[in-house]
Amino acid sequence: MSATPELSAVPAATAPPSRRGRRAPLPHPILVLPAVLVALFALIPVAYLVIRAGDAGWARAFEILWRERTLDLVLRSLWLTFSVTFCCLVIGVGLAALVTRTDLPFRRSITVLAALPLAVPSYVAAYAWISTFSQSAGYWGALLVLTLCTYPYVFLPVAAVLRRTDTGLEEVARSLGRSGPRTFFTVTLRQARPAMAAGSLLVALYTLSDFGAVSLLRYDVFTRVIYTSYRASFDRTPAAVLALLLVVITVAITVAESRSRGRAEQARVGAGVNRPPTMATLSLRQRVAALAGVGVVAGLALGFPAVVLTGWLLRGQSAGIDVGRLVPAAGSTLYVSALGALVAVLMALPVGILAARSRHRLVRVTEHATYAGHALPGLVVALAMVFFGIRVVPGIYQQVPLLVITYAILFLPAAVGVVRASVALSSPRTEEMARSLGKSQLGVLRSVTIPLAAPGIGAGAALVMLTCMKELPATLLLRPTGMDTLATRLWTHTAVAEYAAAAPYAAVLVVLAVIPTLMLAREQIGLRPVRGPRAPRPEEAST
């Protein structure tokens, strides 16, 4: 029970549930009840939008939906989401394969560099590009910036799977005559399909909900138009209707991701063999090409923003740095982000465990409901929570608890996805053994399920903390009076073109964001280089 579970593509030797989930038994209430409460809490922003859209009548709402402008927004948003997700899959899977399955030099350094773009807020990267190249405004600039900032969501889980998966199936495929590349695409990547799907889902939801990058790059998608509608008019009905449409698109994407995971159990059924994978040997030309590709990605994602940010800092040296504002803002950022991560993980535990262990229809609906808030712009969720704070619990309005709860609703999907994947790695047979020894359901959760999934849950907490540190619209609207974070101070200066004054806040924000990024990389894939048996060269194989 203390051994680290490995992934395997071998399905369990049990009959799968029916396709519609009707025969799946309802899980124990000890998990169902808190999961349903979490889902209802996550739907507060949607309830606010329904109330706001219904105030003007549903005839008006349908009229807004059938506008030609609405169809154009749907197509533009979906095309940007598809493009960013596809590019992230190519870059993330490619980098993961290089650092886990080849003898490429400097794999440890490449692993760190490939994860670090998560520490760069998309609005910081967008300004670095738009301030240097005005031609980067529009679709291509948004595609470049969002891809460079989000591909680690694919790289990290796929690299984790490729490091831990049992290589027995690959060796069988090679022994049957399949070439190395064909074995990788037909066997290895099939085992990594759930991780690829989960990473792609996070990328898609991030792209749909991003506000800072698309606003600075002046590319009209749902988030930018919703924000403009809220700021430009007292009539909030159009923005509410568009936000509800965004929720529908989010639910459709999460359902598609859920189906793409397949029904094969991801835990190893048999004892298996815990041995490192065979490392493909690259020729000199292949090594040079691979290192050049890694250098281009790292240079665009990290090097260019770092150079621009350094230029801001040098220009602002003459004016000095306001330490009296910088230090409290950094402390407030760490404080509220850590609380947000803790609350999000606690809320995600019952939902993620159920999603990994049950195919019941109620469980699927509950999991999908938790994704609703993540696709909404932070401004919309913040306005919903203002409504909630004033009408329902006025005592927490403009207090830290309301901001922390909003963070948890916004980034709950990231925590749920990580908890689900971590629990799925451990075989349910272990839990069955514990129950057969007299453990109660709560005892099994406390002593078996959660301890086995603890490393992945820690990675989820680091991921949520990272995204909380970079969140801007919700923090601007809900932070307590007199409290500033690095993101709000950065936005205050950049809004009036004080880029040199904003530079210290941007630099400290990126530096602080590196800490949870490295924690995430360490938990997900480890920072020690992979060593495995070297694949024979062609001439050696023929000999």
Q: What is the pLDDT of residue 251?
A: 75
Contacts of residue 506, Cβ cutoff 8 Å, sequence gap at least 6 = 124, 309, 312, 486, 490
State the Cα–Cα distance between residues 191 and 168, nearest whole angstrom: 12
Output the furthest CA–CA distance in the chain (Å, rounded).
79
- Residue 42 domain-assigned? yes
* CATH number of the domain within which 341 lies: 1.10.3720.10
- Residue 21 domain-assigned? no
Least confident of 307-311, 320-324, 365-369, 418-422: 320-324
- Residue 411 domain-assigned? yes
Least confident of 132-136, 275-279, 394-398, 514-518: 275-279
Q: Are 148 and 117 in contact (CB under 8 A)?
A: yes
Residue of 193 and 346 predicted with greater confidence: 346
Q: What is the pLDDT of residue 507?
A: 83
pLDDT in tens, 396-446: 777 888 999 999 888 888 788 778 877 877 777 777 777 777 777 777 777
Q: What is the pLDDT of residue 539?
A: 46
Binned at pLDDT 50, 70 and 90, residue 80 comes out as very high
- Segment 143-164 shows an average pLDDT of 88
- Residue 456 domain-assigned? yes
pLDDT in tens, 482-526: 888 888 888 787 767 677 777 788 888 888 888 777 776 666 555
Which residues, in sequence order, are bridge partners of residue 102? Answer: 280
Q: What is the pLDDT of residue 410?
A: 87
Q: Which of 10-19, 43-52, 179-188 has the highest mean pLDDT?
A: 43-52
> Which pTM value belongs to this model?
0.74
- Residue 275 domain-assigned? no
Q: Are 168 and 107 in contact (CB under 8 A)?
A: no
- Residue 295 domain-assigned? yes
- Residue 464 domain-assigned? yes
Alpha-carbon 430 to chain mean position: 29
State the Cα–Cα distance between residues 386 and 403, nearest whole angstrom: 10
- Residue 527 domain-assigned? yes
| Residue 335: domain span | 29-268+284-533
Q: Which of 92-101, 142-151, 305-314, 496-505 has the highest mean pLDDT?
A: 142-151
Q: Which amino acid is at 312?
A: W
State the Cα–Cα distance between residues 259 and 197, nearest whole angstrom: 10
State the Cα–Cα distance between residues 227 and 212, nearest whole angstrom: 11
**500 class by beta-carbon count within 10 Å (0-12 exposed, 13-18 middle, 19+ buried):** middle
Least confident of 123-137, 166-180, 290-304, 332-346: 166-180
State the Cα–Cα distance between residues 497 and 218, nearest whole angstrom: 16
Closest to 450 (Cα-Cα) out of 421, 412, 422, 411: 422
Binned at pLDDT 50, 70 and 90, residue 14 comes out as very low
Residue of 450 and 184 predicted with greater confidence: 450
State the Cα–Cα distance between residues 114 and 337, nearest whole angstrom: 23
Contacts of residue 410, Cβ cutoff 8 Å, sequence gap at least 6 = 373, 374, 378, 381, 467, 471, 474
Q: What is the pLDDT of residue 11?
A: 34
Classified as helix, coil or strand, 422 is helix
pLDDT in tens, 206-244: 888 887 788 888 888 877 777 777 666 666 677 777 777
Cα-based angle 413, 419, 424 (whole degrees, multiple of 5): 125
> Structurally, how many domains does the chain consist of?
1
Q: What is the pLDDT of residue 25?
A: 58
Binned at pLDDT 50, 70 and 90, residue 248 comes out as confident
